[in-house]
Amino acid sequence: MITFDFGAVLVDWPLLLRGAGMTVLLTAVSATLGLALGVACAWARLNGALPLRWAATTYIELIRNTPFIVQLFFVFFGLPSLGVKLTPEWAAVIAMVINLGAYAGEIARAGIQATPRGQIEAARSLALSEAQVFIRVVLPPALARVWPAMVGQIIIVMLGSAVCGQIATQELSYSANLIHSRNFRAFEATFIATGMYLLLAVLLRQALQWAGTRLLTVRK
């Protein structure tokens, strides 16, 4: 007879909340920096000089065709051999930013390429600089077009942060595994962690959709 004892896991609710808080923090920082990196890569691929385009393309293809956990291990275990020592949290942030930046770059590029040529020419006729045209005219509607896809990618990165516990980053999955190691309630700990990830994903999607409608000018 199998018996379940969720109370044995929930008694350590402060540990679970700290893990969830770390997951939210990792996601917030990596989403902000990753989106900025993605936009920079999209601009480089479309408007940059040839070496810059090659560099951006190589980076995007490399990251999109390798597993996230390999990228995480490379940052945490590989960089120290070059003299760069990182805490688990900083290694997780860097790996998540690098991963999100590559995918966000392709998503942003698709939105930028959908911008009507006449809209860009009209902006240039107003004597705006190329930077002003890109930031004020091209980028906001481009992001608005692809925002649902961008939101989905951010959530994927947030869920992927669960593997960061492999390098002792004290996020949600790390907390669940720690509780499991104490009371041997693997099913209950995993079940509760899964529910918390589901809740975080739903709340994050709602928050990002709200932010998109408030901050982005929708021009299709």
Tens of pLDDT, residue by residue over 11-54, are 999 999 999 999 999 999 999 999 999 999 999 999 889 999 99
CA neighbours closer than 13 Å in the CB half-sphere of residue 70: 6
Coil, helix or strand at residue 120: helix
State pLDDT tens for residues 62-117.
Answer: 999 999 999 999 999 999 888 888 999 999 999 999 999 999 999 999 999 988 88
> CA-CA distance, 104 to 42, in Å (whole number)?
8
Average per-residue pLDDT in the chain? 92
Mean pLDDT of 213-217: 77
**H or E stretch at 104:** helix 88-113
Locate all alpha helices (DSSP H) within the chain, ordered by sequence: 7-10, 13-47, 50-64, 68-73, 88-113, 117-124, 130-132, 139-160, 172-183, 186-215
Question: How far from 172 is each of 25, 89, 92, CA to CA, in Å?
Answer: 11, 13, 13
Q: Is this model's pTM higher than 0.95 or not? A: no
Least reliable range by pLDDT among 12-16, 115-119, 162-166, 195-199? 115-119
Would the pLDDT of 130 be above 90? no
